[in-house]
Amino acid sequence: MMAAACARTLSKVARLVLDTPTCRVTNAAALVPRFSMRCQGRAYGTGGAGFRSRALLAAPTRGSGRVLGCAFLLGGGFGLYQTVKLTLQRHHADEKSNAPELGTDLKLTLYQYKTCPFCSKVRAFLDYHGLPYEIVEVNPVMRQEIKWSTYRKVPILMVNGTLQLNDSSVIISVLKTYLVSREKTMSEILTCYPEMKAKNDRGKDVIEFGNKYWVMVRDADADHLYPGKDNRKEEIKWRKWADEWLVHLISPNVYRTPTEALASFDYIVREGKFGTFEGFFAKYFGAAAMWIISKRLKNKHHLQDDVRQDLYKAVNDWVSAIGKNKKFMGGDQPNLADLAVFGVLRVMEGLQAYEDMMEHTKVKNWYRRMEKATQRES
């Protein structure tokens, strides 16, 4: 509106000057009303001494009025251009400074076991999106840190100290929905993922969550988030694959032999939250127990005698699904499937299973790109 008013004023004054074919100019300022606009402390005058030139104040000749009009239009137009330009620059700068950064309005606290693949998935998501969060390491024996929660598994994510998010895939889907579309509050988004009671294959009551692999956004946002025809379907497919298949290959591989089981529990005790007695007990008795349990898990999930081969096949299937022409499953940037698979595989770092995976599969290049993408700024 301000620019339009300026243009109208300049047009009127220019017509006044141009319609005077011969005018005796003794004071150019008398013909031009003073008009100024301020932008960031600068003023652009269209009259007064600052606008006079020696040519305009010289002895009048025929057509001097038209010269004055042309000069006026050029000077005024330049002044208008600079004014509008600087005004828009200030407006955009104000908008940028006032716009909140993604996630800066969230205070996130993650209750976790560091070596849990599901907790690792959530950390990978938070790190990739640059969301600051605090970590509360939970003692896996007593779990006193989450005694206030009726939901007794990890990860648990507390949002702003009041809203509790359970289940790694629900946590990721809720946060992604919130970051993509700010139309609803976090609490409203959470209602899209209803908690349901079910029974597992052993007849034990378990809690499941509806829609947990879906990012609940409008069609317009979905088109931007998933530009390819099958992008959304593929993301959901591989997120489920990470939870329902890949994660079950971890324990049989890291506890494959007594030596590997002991090394794994040494890492778990070192990185986890254990008391002195708990740590000693977990390291030796836990390692022996998990070596035995890993054999049962191998039978339960119908794995080969050499469970490494199942791990290699799964990882290579993932790399093949990405394809040779893409950096990530999500294209040039990781999507939620990339983050889920990376989070699960990452818990093996430092163990023999991880070294073997890197040596005998094609995952290394993708994995290194994911490490870089999820690197937290110190």
Does residue 219 belong to any structural domain of this protein? yes
Strand ranges, E, within 167-295: 195-199, 205-209
In this prediction, residue 33 carries a pLDDT of 36
Does residue 271 belong to any structural domain of this protein? yes
Who has greater pLDDT, 257 or 57? 257
302-329 confidence digits (pLDDT tens)? 999 999 999 999 999 999 999 999 999 9
In this prediction, residue 269 carries a pLDDT of 85
Does residue 10 belong to any structural domain of this protein? no
Does residue 354 belong to any structural domain of this protein? yes
Strand ranges, E, within 28-169: 36-39, 42-45, 108-112, 133-137, 156-159, 163-166
Q: Which residue in the list 51, 118, 213, 274 is annotated as catalytic?
A: 118
Q: Which residues contact 131 (CB under 8 A, 6 or more apart)?
A: 102, 103, 106, 108, 175
Is the pLDDT score of 243 beyond 60?
A: yes
Q: Report how far residue 225's alpha carbon sits from residue 236's, in angstroms, rounded to the nearest whole number.
A: 13
Residue located via tokens 């006026």: 72
Does residue 59 belong to any structural domain of this protein? no
Q: Residue 192 catalytic?
A: no
90-138 confidence digits (pLDDT tens)? 444 443 333 334 555 899 999 999 999 999 999 999 999 999 999 999 9
Indicate whether this model's pTM tops 0.85: no
Does residue 86 belong to any structural domain of this protein? no
Q: Residue 284 catalytic?
A: no
Does residue 58 belong to any structural domain of this protein? no
Q: Which residue in the list 44, 51, 72, 113 is annotated as catalytic?
A: 113
> Structural domain tally of the chain?
1
CATH of the domain at 145: 1.20.1050.10
Q: Which residue in the list 116, 178, 213, 328 is annotated as catalytic?
A: 116
Residue 36: strand, helix, or coil: strand
Arithmetic mean of pLDDT, 357-376: 97
Query: Which residue range(s) make up the domain with 149?
Result: 104-374
Q: Which residue in the list 6, 72, 111, 119 is annotated as catalytic?
A: 119
Q: Residue 118 catalytic?
A: yes
Does residue 280 belong to any structural domain of this protein? yes
Arithmetic mean of pLDDT, 25-30: 36
